[in-house]
């Protein structure tokens, strides 16, 4: 897992061609004005989900991981807590291949993502996104899904 500010994205472009392309998309797009929805960038190799929602209380959070995709989550507006843990620390539920969704159960750590922050989540990184920092509040973010080669 990598957490940083979007203005440091150039430091991570060499990690993976898909990650490089995802950061290029963020730079080309107008994140503040882009509407919520799904955007195809490179078919199933790279697509973007722009999400707008209100954060949720901790008890409503769900641990998840993905086998086929790396998540690059970029907070455009607002702030949210996100849980994180290595898969080996959690109990795995039944993987849904159609949704590339692995539910998990257990305990992890939490950090706060603010406007301008991003997190890169690899397949071994369980996460619990969308949690309220202090009170429920609106968030706008881009979730870029990068196919694992």
Distance CA 43, CA 100 (A): 16
Predicted TM-score (pTM) of this structure: 0.96
- The pLDDT assigned to 103 comes to 98
At 105 the pLDDT is 98
Provide the percentage of residues in the chain whose pLDDT is more than 90. 99
User: For the chain, which residues make up each domain, given as ranges?
Assistant: 2-147
Summarised one tens digit per residue, pLDDT across range 90-111 is 999 999 999 999 999 999 999 9
- Residue whose C-alpha is closest to residue 73's, from 14, 32, 130, 28: 130
User: Tell me, which fold does domain 2-147 have in CATH?
Assistant: Jelly Rolls (2.60.120)
Q: Is the pLDDT of residue 149 over 90?
A: no
Residue with tokens 């539920």: 93
Q: Rounded mean pLDDT of the chain?
A: 98
Q: Among residues 103, 115, 100, 82, which one has the least CA distance to residue 1?
A: 82
The model's pLDDT over 40-90, given as tens digits with 9 standing for 90+, comes to: 999 999 999 999 999 999 999 999 999 999 999 999 999 999 999 999 999
Given this model, what pLDDT does residue 101 score? 98
Buried/exposed code over 83-106 (b: 16+ C-beta within 10 A; e: otherwise)? bbbebeebeeeeeeeeebebbbee
């Amino acid at each position: 897992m990598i957490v940083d500010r979007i203005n440091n994205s150039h430091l991570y472009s060499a990690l993976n061609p898909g990650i490089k392309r995802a950061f290029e998309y963020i730079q080309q797009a107008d994140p503040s004005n882009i509407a919520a929805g799904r955007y195809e960038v490179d078919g199933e190799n790279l697509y973007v989900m722009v999400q707008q929602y209100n954060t949720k209380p901790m008890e409503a959070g769900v641990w998840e991981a993905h086998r086929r995709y790396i998540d690059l989550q970029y907070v455009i507006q607002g702030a949210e807590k996100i849980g994180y843990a290595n898969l080996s620390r959690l109990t795995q539920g039944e993987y849904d291949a159609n949704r590339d969704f692995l539910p998990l159960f257990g305990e992890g750590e939490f950090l706060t993502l603010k406007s301008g922050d991003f997190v890169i989540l690899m397949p071994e990184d369980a996460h619990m996104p969308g949690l309220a920092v202090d009170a429920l509040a609106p968030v706008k973010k881009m979730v870029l899904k990068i196919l694992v080669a």
